[in-house]
Amino acid sequence: MADATASPAVSRIWLLVKAVILRALMRIGMFFHGYPLPGPPAPHFTRRLPGHSVKLHFYTPKEYANASSNGHRYPVVVNFHGGGFCLGRATDDARWAQIVTNIANAVVVSVDYRLAPEHPFPAAVDDGVEALLYLQEHASELHLDTSRVTLSGFSAGGNLVFSVPLLLRSRFSASTPPSLSYFSSSSLENASRPDLSRYDSSHKLLATTTTTATDLNLRIVSLVSWYPVLDFVLPRDVRRGRCAHPKKSLPSCLTTLFDNSYLPNHDDRSSPFASPIRAPPELICEALPTDVFIYMCEWDMLLHEGQEFVHQLEGQGKRVRSMMIEQSKHAWDKSVNPFRDQGRIDVFYLAAAEQMKKIFEEGREMECP
């Protein structure tokens, strides 16, 4: 049986046990990822979103400490870590954050979103949207320019780079009442609502913010997505079969855990907030900025869906810069080998940060055909 179509009766307790074990192993691995020296920086400070445990980790430029006196506001890069929506922490991308703060002179905010199986879809997407709203509401005290925002992410986080602005747009579109809260799936079974409403969660996103559709002035100017998962409908065995080097792809024991933990309800897998590649064209046009960067890996089962999404975005008038990193497998930059060539990884990070800096300086607007 294909691992993407495993029985929905899979024990949630057993999924949790496996996830907890893998989280412990990943922490050990990320310890070794801290080498070669100099190691990745620690966040300069953290903030907790009101009402729950989600933390935001802030990495700031050197001059940030002077912002209170000179009134300077920094562009923002909101980052989402990888780990199949089950593993990982906001500090996993600290090397990326360091390069971005140095090159783009931006504040990087890495989101410690809730993990599955304890918090399945759409908890991670909800947390991403709420993080953006929090940053807008506290922009003045945090010295942030929320008219210049970039989203970045890796793997599962690369998915959130697209799904978060899609959900944000759907919540604050002209046809959506600003006071709309989330409803449980049971309350929606017989409700007459647009098709997208069946993907609402029971987390009352707007209950903790005073932001309305009329004063939402947060502007996302670019997206940077690294080896994203974009289509949960396509079975994993099909994706693995399309891989140029299947033995280099993620093993089925991991992908089964990820998919069944995050998306136990198979109907949710076609949601545009789970599978951005299946979002309606008009939503993609309205929700996503003009400038999009997608980095893919040659030996990754996600390569083909990434390439397909590039063509889809280009068809919607987006300015897409995509790159396939040759002879590299999924999450190649997160190698736990302490003797890896970190300089080879940093070359890609530096190039992406330079592009982000250029866009921040130009302040590009969204464009739709």
- Rounded mean pLDDT, 350-367: 86
For the chain, percent of residues with pLDDT exceeding 70 = 84
Q: What is the pLDDT of residue 217?
A: 82
Rg (CA), the chain: 19
Mean pLDDT, range 240-264, rounded to an integer = 92
Cis preceding-peptide flag for 246 (omega within 30 of 0): no
What SS3 string covers 52-109?
A: CCCEEEEECCHHHHHHHHHCCCEEEEEEECCCCCCCCCHHHHHHHHHHHHHHHCCEEE
Report which of 225, 199, 226, 211 is spatially closest to residue 288, judged by C-alpha positions.
225
Weakest-pLDDT range from 57-66, 83-92, 204-213: 204-213
When pLDDT is cut at 50, 70 and 90, the band that residue 12 belongs to is confident
Helices (H) and strands (E) in the chain, counts: 12, 8
Which CATH architecture describes the domain 3-184+197-362?
3-Layer(aba) Sandwich (3.40)
Strand positions, DSSP E, the chain: 45-48, 55-59, 74-80, 107-112, 144-154, 220-226, 291-299, 319-329
Q: What is the pLDDT of residue 369?
A: 53
Structure token pair of residue 316: 């919607």
How wide is the angle at C-alpha 328 spanned by C-alphas 325 and 332, nearest 5°?
A: 100
Q: Is residue 1's pLDDT more than 90? A: no
**pLDDT greater than 60 at residue 83:** yes
pLDDT at residue 8 greater than cutoff 80 = no
The sheet with strand 74-80 has its strands ordered as 45-48, 55-59, 107-112, 74-80, 144-154, 220-226, 291-299, 319-329
Q: What are phi and psi of 326, to 5 degrees?
A: -70, 145
Residue 212 has a CB neighbour count (10 Å cut-off) of: 12
CA distance linking residue 155 with residue 149, whole number of Å: 20
pLDDT-derived band at 189 (thresholds 50, 70, 90) equals: very low
pLDDT (0 to 100) of residue 266: 93
In the predicted structure, residue 172 carries a pLDDT above the cut 80: yes
Tell me how far apart the alpha carbons of residues 104 and 359 are, in angstroms, rounded to a whole number: 10
Token look-up 């993609």 returns 284
Is the pLDDT higher at 281 or at 6? 281
- Could you state, in order of their start, the residue ranges of all structural domains in the chain? 3-184+197-362
Taking alpha carbons only, the member of 202, 44, 56 closest to residue 135 is 56
Residue 318 in this model has a pLDDT that exceeds 50: yes
How many CB atoms are located within 10 Å of the residue 211 CB? 19
Tokens of 298: 């040659």
pTM over cut 0.85: yes
Lowest mean pLDDT among 32-36, 171-175, 294-298, 355-359: 171-175
